[in-house]
Amino acid sequence: MLNPEIDIRRYEGQKRASFKVGNLQREGRVDQVEQELWIVGNDPECFNDVEFIKKVSEMMADALWLYETDCLFAPATRAIMTVYKTAELLGHSQIAIARKNISPTPPEVLRVPMTSITSGREGELMIDGETRDIMKGKRVALFDDVISRGDTMKGLMELARMSEAKVVAVSTVGIEGATPYSVFEQEFRRDELVYLAVLPLFAQGQTYDNLMKEKRLVEEIFNH
């Protein structure tokens, strides 16, 4: 029986919330991203916390050894430090990075649409021809700091497909809410959805009710 791990909490004015990755305990700011939805921010851990980056990379490398990856494919910018260190520990010679813009514009650009939960803005995720060639024919693990709605990861998956790569794992440091389990249901069933921590989502009103309903539905799907 599969057991999706989901942490939905009612928002009651919390300013900060703790989270744990392995034996690392950290506390992040609770940031509002929609009218009735808040997430735990992780910028200090992604950019400033050397111990966090080092130890999380070690944990992720241990988790990904099984998949015999040739390359990690991540979006800029929060995941870059961790994906670099993880790739180094896995013995990879290159990493692939998708960006929201590339300047100056290269001769060849592959693009997919994307909406980020943190910014709420619609945009694009893109790679150049050189990044496509890094992934072509390779066993690739997609990598991000957090999966919430899965939009960024779906963009990475499409870019990897366009690059003729074989996606062998969808990996993230933290997973938020129930949506990742439904968006990546097949990967979860095949044990190809890799995550190190479950992060809380905070909500009020109808959004809270909707998230709890989604949680129950996802749990029913995987418990039958």
The per-residue pLDDT for range 37-72, each reduced to its tens digit, is: 999 999 988 999 999 999 999 999 999 999 999 999
Topology, domain 8-222? Rossmann fold (3.40.50)
Q: What is the pTM of this model?
A: 0.94
Q: Is the pLDDT of residue 117 over 70?
A: no
Pair 153, 144: CB distance under 8 Å? yes
Q: How confident is the model at residue 120 (pLDDT cuts 50, 70, 90)?
A: low
Q: Among residues of the chain, what percentage have pLDDT more than 90?
A: 92
Where do the domains of the chain lie?
8-222
- Close Cβ partners of 196 (under 8 Å, ≥ 6 residues apart): 21, 22, 56, 59, 60, 63, 172, 173, 174
